[in-house]
Structure 1
Amino acid sequence: MKVLVAPLDWGLGHATRCAPVVREFLEKGCDVELAVTRGNAAILREMFPDVRQRLAPSYNIVYPKHGYNMAFWLLKNSAHLRAVMRAEHHYAEEMVERHGYDILVSDNRFAFRSRKAKNVYMTHQCRIAFPKMFRMFEAFGAAWHASVMSRFDEVWVPDIPEFPGYAGSLSHVERCPRPLKFVGPLSRFAMLPLTQSTEKDLNIVAVVSGVEPARSRFASRLSSVLPQIPGKHVVILGKPASSLKTWTAGNVTFYNHLPTQEFADVISRAGWVISRGGYSTVMDMAVLGAKCIFVPTPGQYEQVVLAADLSAAGFAVSIEEGSLSVDSLSKALQRADVVELPRQSKNTLLSDAVTQILRRT
């Protein structure tokens, strides 16, 4: 059986959460290939050096500086998004025709499907949340996303079936054009030999992720705040295409990038992890048993909802980017009521989903 897996290129989270999916198909004897962009090719090559990569169309997303501009940004760029969707659909059809793929797995690539293959669409945002000022448009967003999902054979949700799971109301919805198949939390760290360090010799480990310009803005804010917080800190800049460069400035050590095992080892030594609140990061931190401070990316309201829900449950602290300061971070570090994200036992949901689709193909 030949499988092509295509993660969306809006940040690296979509690529990393595809790792268990790729691994599961490989373990079941499938011939797996990856549809990549220049933005996520390096990290996928690091995880799967022997898996063939094929260059796919890129969405080339650059988020607006201010979150409240997101609705206008979407309207302004709607023609570009439709053009990419047409290109990726044509690309998927061509790939199936030329290389004979039996199954296409699209992680949030809205039109990555073919009439001549089984098509899986993977998303945790069955409900696309809108900010309060644009809540009136949420129904339109839901209808549009439902039309996207209806064109696929299966919809896989990286969460657990029991509400609230990790994504709450984003993944657990009353209506969907396809029966939802929950495949459990997906993280590239799930198969590692993880050891929880008893010595928390790092006060804060900051993980920078996402797309520009928000990614660089977050890194800049961290670089100015962390040196003023007592203790040893680490900043992982999330640049897998760069060389493994390391440098230290005062009490902060910077890494351009860390390979998967080294990343997990550093997280295990951290008293706290500060990062964006993307869903892939939430799943990663749950597997690694981290105590988290989330700073949602302005314009990505999904992250605001996730951070708020996890904060209310006592599994994280949420700080708005504009409020991230020495004072707000110092107060967060004193929160004794926050505990590590809950870990899940062995996940068999993904294995079951892969087995079932292979039987039907």
Structure 2
Amino acid sequence: MNTTQKKIIISPLNWGLGHATRCVPLINELLKNNFIPIIASDGIALSFLKKEFSALESLELPSYHISYGKNLKVKLLFQIPRVLKAIKKEHKIISDFVLKNKEIVGVISDNRFGVRSNLVHSVYVTHQINVLSGGTTFLTSYFHQKIIKKFDECWVPDNENSEFSGKLSSTKKKINLKYIGVLSRFKKEELTKNIDILVIISGPESNRTFLENKLISEFKNDKRKIIFVLGKVELEQREWTSENITFYNYLLSHQLQNFINSSEMIICRSGYSSIMDLAVLGKKVFLIPTENQPEQEYLSKYLEEKKIAPSSDIKNFTKENLCKLKDYKGLYSVETDLKSDLKSELISFLHGKRKL
């Protein structure tokens, strides 16, 4: 590997796999432009990207260990000291790493607050300029926007009219925002639809396991061809069949792309990265938001009101709900051409010099 090549740290938050998966097209674009990405994260986000890009250097960061229950605001309040400690620690790790490695010219952080450096241009990636939290939305949004302002730029993975993120990314505040279009690791292909229902399960525990058990019970003895992708990034990839359902603990990007393109309908969380992926692939999807996660609850209602995708909370979901799909137009977006739409953004700072 050419040691004279410039390096970029790219660092997704470890909360499910969504932040990590939407970093895949960014990493690929960096590689195409002869930069060397350095992956920095923790947990399953780090494990996933190391499997996708096994030849790349990686850096393990401290975990935020965020969990949530029925009262999200109270739960998060008690976790603030631990999260702030992790943010401070990751900021020191990144700062020291950039200081020691002179070939690093930029940092791209996907929702990791401490991953930035005063020595190089630092970019923050988020679709949540506004952080929904009920009656305290104004406060959580204010603090998030203060964090965003610590970075040189903020990239929003959506169109300028906030087509898919709605009020999450709409703001009149003076923040250095750049809407970079829909980000997806997938390519649309016209394949034979030989999978009736593809269930993609994701998110933090214990919500992930609860959704898995609920949907297994719901589709037990169903005669259709059903595949479950469990979102469990383990040491070895596994496939097994139980009664009428085929299970995979996880799939790499090219495998999941093939399965989605081959499916008649999808069931998944209303996570933003999943929505972008399925929009690029033009799919019919039934959304089940993670309970007590306001962002996903908002997105599912937003898309349902626009007659794009039906949704249900997990407790009220039955397989008969899938009949609603015929009354919704489905997700669709023209794929962002990173070569034209994002290349100028990458080149504008990644070909620059270190600040000091």
Give the TM-score taking structure 1 as reference length. 0.91
AA of the residue aligned to 1:19: V
Give the secondary structure class of the aligned counterpart of 2:182: coil
Give the secondary structure class of the aligned counterpart of 1:102: strand
Q: Does residue 1:166 correspond to 2:141, yes or no?
A: no
Question: 1:31 Cα deviation (Å)?
Answer: 2.2
AA of the residue aligned to 2:50: R
Question: 1:360 Cα deviation (Å)?
Answer: 4.3
Percent identity of equivalent pairs: 30
C-alpha distance after superposition, 1:64-89 (max 9, x if no partner): 2x2xx100011111111111111111
Q: Does residue 1:201 correspond to 2:206, yes or no?
A: no
Contact 1:4-1:105 within 8 A present in 2 as well: yes
Query: For 2:240 and 2:67, how far apart are their aligned partners in 1?
Result: 28
Query: For 1:263 and 1:188, how far apart are their aligned partners in 2?
Result: 10
Q: Which consecutive unaligned segments of at least 5 residues does structure 1 have?
A: none
Aligned to 2:322: 332
Question: 1:346 Cα deviation (Å)?
Answer: 4.3
Query: For 1:317 and 1:207, how far apart are their aligned partners in 2?
Result: 16
Query: For 1:245 and 1:208, how far apart are their aligned partners in 2?
Result: 15
Contact 1:242-1:256 within 8 A present in 2 as well: no
Q: Does residue 1:298 correspond to 2:291, yes or no?
A: yes
Aligned to 1:44: 49
Contact 2:15-2:45 within 8 A present in 1 as well: no
Query: For 1:334 and 1:164, how far apart are their aligned partners in 2?
Result: 26
Aligned residues: CA RMSD: 1.6
Aligned to 1:80: 82
C-alpha change, 1:279 and 1:159, in structure 2 (3 Å) is same
Question: 1:230 Cα deviation (Å)?
Answer: 4.0
Q: Does residue 1:125 correspond to 2:128, yes or no?
A: yes
- Of residues 343, 353, 356 in structure 1, which corresponds to 2:348? 356
Question: 1:229 Cα deviation (Å)?
Answer: 4.0
Contact 1:63-1:214 within 8 A present in 2 as well: no
Question: 1:231 Cα deviation (Å)?
Answer: 1.2
Question: 1:359 Cα deviation (Å)?
Answer: 4.5
Aligned to 2:115: 112
AA of the residue aligned to 1:196: E
- Of residues 234, 240, 243 in structure 1, which corresponds to 2:236? 243
Question: 1:250 Cα deviation (Å)?
Answer: 2.0
Give the TM-score taking structure 2 as reference length. 0.92
C-alpha change, 1:34 and 1:332, in structure 2 (3 Å) is same
- Of residues 177, 182, 185 in structure 1, which corresponds to 2:182? 185
AA of the residue aligned to 2:170: H
AA of the residue aligned to 1:96: V
Contact 1:106-1:122 within 8 A present in 2 as well: yes
AA of the residue aligned to 1:33: I
Query: For 1:330 and 1:221, how far apart are their aligned partners in 2?
Result: 14
Query: For 2:181 and 2:53, how far apart are their aligned partners in 1?
Result: 22
